[in-house]
Amino acid sequence: MNERSNVLLNTYFLSSKNYYRYQLTQQLDRWSYRIISLGFIFLTIGILSGAVWANEVWGSYWNWDPKETWAFITWTVFTIYFHTRTNTNLEGVNSALVASMGFLIIWICYFGVNLLGIGLHSYGSFTLN
């Protein structure tokens, strides 16, 4: 019984051994929240201004183009991230997982959509001539 309590004491996250690691993760969490907030503001402005521009060029605000759709998916994932941050039952590891998923979605949005080569956007597609 005594040996088991020592194991639990050594693995407890807030023990004196892990206190600095805990401070580091909390600081990284705060910084990631600030950076994601700034990026979310710019993404929202980009989607809204792109919709206004699309209405001028293509005649409608939204055409379900792959780039538009994946930008909306990215925006939705980071909206879920902010929801997990504000909900006290879901914050912590859950918000970090959603932020990581959002990071992967950004890479899909940046590179993967260009590999499709379809859509209304003429820039950024990889074409083989």
pLDDT in tens, 23-41: 888 898 899 999 999 999 9
> In a 10 Å sphere around its CB, with 0-12 CB exposed, 13-18 middle and 19+ buried, how is residue 63 labelled?
middle
* Bigger pLDDT: 17 vs 86: 86
Q: Interhelix angle for 19-58 vs 93-107, to 10°?
A: 40
Distance CA 67, CA 42 (A): 16
Q: pTM to 2 decimals?
A: 0.73
**pLDDT tens per residue across span 66-122:** 888 889 999 999 999 999 988 877 767 788 899 999 999 998 888 877 676 666 666
Which stretches of the chain are assigned E, i.e. beta strand? none
What residue segments make up the domains of the chain, in order of their start?
A: 25-116
